[in-house]
Amino acid sequence: MGQFNCLICFHEQHGPVYQVKEMMFGLAEAFPYVQCARCGTIQQLNPPADMAPYYPEGYYSLSGLSLSGLQVRWMKQFRFWLYQNTGFSLFKPIYGEWLKRLDAKRGDAIGDIGCGNGQLLYELYASGYRNLTGYDPFIDADLYPGTGLQIFKKSLFDIQGSFDVLMLHHAFEHMNSPDTAFAKVAALLNPSGRLLIRVPVSDGEAWTVFREDWVQLDAPRHYFIPSLAAMKILAQRHGLDLFHVDFDSTAFQFWGSRKYQQGQALYETKDRPQSAAKDTWQLERKARELNAVSKGDQAAFYFRKSQD
Ligand SMILES: [Zn+2]
């Protein structure tokens, strides 16, 4: 084995090698992953030079863009207004919490890096935001150029400009160099800019329990899975304050990993295994319990530029 360097803390020692199979599509090709002995980041040892084959046509249509009709759009706008102004959350949109913590205003320049089909940006547009830009290197082409919601076929390092708010929802771990990627993201923020990075984390109980079958390793698409400590290292190194962390794991960590344990591909069938469907409610509760003690398998990290 060649020289190992942790992608985040640059430490040279790692733990056991895990052979992790591509199981989203069930290709079953194995990729070695190790965990840094110092900061706990999990990383892939020899990632494929060409990742394109692992983002097959239809990768994003798996989550399909659902467009709002005028009425639905109006309702979303009202629902979001209600949540922002009263905290009323019976129909709390998932992004309400993110935007509130990010102090995202309607006119703010908001960027979603690794936005996929742009579903989230479309939701924000429907909620009245008008300065939205998305970037994703794996989409077919640019979308809606010249509007208040533009989506570009671009990778992080081709992005120019300055943003009030940047978000990476399960995109960061798809980048092969977290240190330079984090530096680039920090440089794209204006002096009062805020940043949200949602990623799987290696601190979760799921990694300890499921190991190479942990669904969020997502070999080989994930180059690395950071630990909480690793995210703190990156923030400090690149001049950002990590001001809040929310563990936001779901039942997916259990039913997805169980599928992999049973040798089933994630998208083999559209349905969850019969056994898992029955206890979804219990699994969601277990996920909430783990989140409460910082042991869920994913988290939302909120940063802002350091003022000193
Ligand atoms: Zn490390």
pLDDT of 26 over the 70 cut: yes
| Order of all β-strands in the sheet with 189-200 | 149-152, 132-135, 110-113, 163-169, 189-200, 298-305, 240-247
pLDDT of 152 over the 70 cut: yes
Q: How far is CA 47 from the centre of its chain?
A: 19
pLDDT number for residue 60: 62
What lies within 8 Å, CB to CB, of 51 at 6+ separation is: 220, 221
pLDDT of 39 over the 80 cut: yes
pLDDT of 198 over the 90 cut: yes
Q: Region 18-30: what's the mean pLDDT?
A: 94
- The answer to whether residue 56 sits within a structural domain is yes
Mean model confidence pLDDT for the chain: 88
- The answer to whether residue 215 sits within a structural domain is yes
Q: Please report, for residues 214, 220, 267, the alpha-carbon distance to residue 48 in angstroms, rounded to integers and kept in the order given.
A: 20, 7, 22
256-276 residue pLDDT tens: 999 999 999 987 655 555 455
pLDDT of 108 over the 50 cut: yes
Cα(7) to ligand 1 centroid in Å equals 7
Cα(275) to ligand 1 centroid in Å equals 38
Domain span including residue 51: 47-305
Among 133-147, 154-168, 189-203, the minimum mean pLDDT is found in: 133-147
CA distance 256 to 265: 9
Q: Region 14-26: what's the mean pLDDT?
A: 95
Q: Region 117-142: what's the mean pLDDT?
A: 89
- The answer to whether residue 125 sits within a structural domain is yes
Residue 264, token pair as written in the block: 């089933």
Please report which confidence band the pLDDT of residue 2 belongs to, taking 50, 70 and 90 as the band edges: low
How many domains does one find in the chain? 1
- The answer to whether residue 102 sits within a structural domain is yes
Cα(40) to ligand 1 centroid in Å equals 6
- The answer to whether residue 21 sits within a structural domain is no
Please report which confidence band the pLDDT of residue 81 belongs to, taking 50, 70 and 90 as the band edges: low
Please report which confidence band the pLDDT of residue 307 belongs to, taking 50, 70 and 90 as the band edges: confident
Q: Region 275-293: what's the mean pLDDT?
A: 84
Cα(24) to ligand 1 centroid in Å equals 27
pLDDT number for residue 141: 85
256: three-class secondary structure by DSSP: helix
* SS3 sequence of 167-235: EEECCHHHCCCHHHHHHHHHHHEEEEEEEEEEEECCCCHHHHHHHHHCHHHCCCCCCEECCHHHHHHHH
Cα(78) to ligand 1 centroid in Å equals 45
Among 4-8, 83-87, 196-200, 204-208, the minimum mean pLDDT is found in: 83-87
Cα(14) to ligand 1 centroid in Å equals 8
For residue 232, what is the domain's CATH number? 3.40.50.150
Amino acid at 72: V
Percent of the chain with pLDDT over 70: 84
Cα(177) to ligand 1 centroid in Å equals 13
Cα(5) to ligand 1 centroid in Å equals 8
- The answer to whether residue 28 sits within a structural domain is no
Residue 16, token pair as written in the block: 């056991």
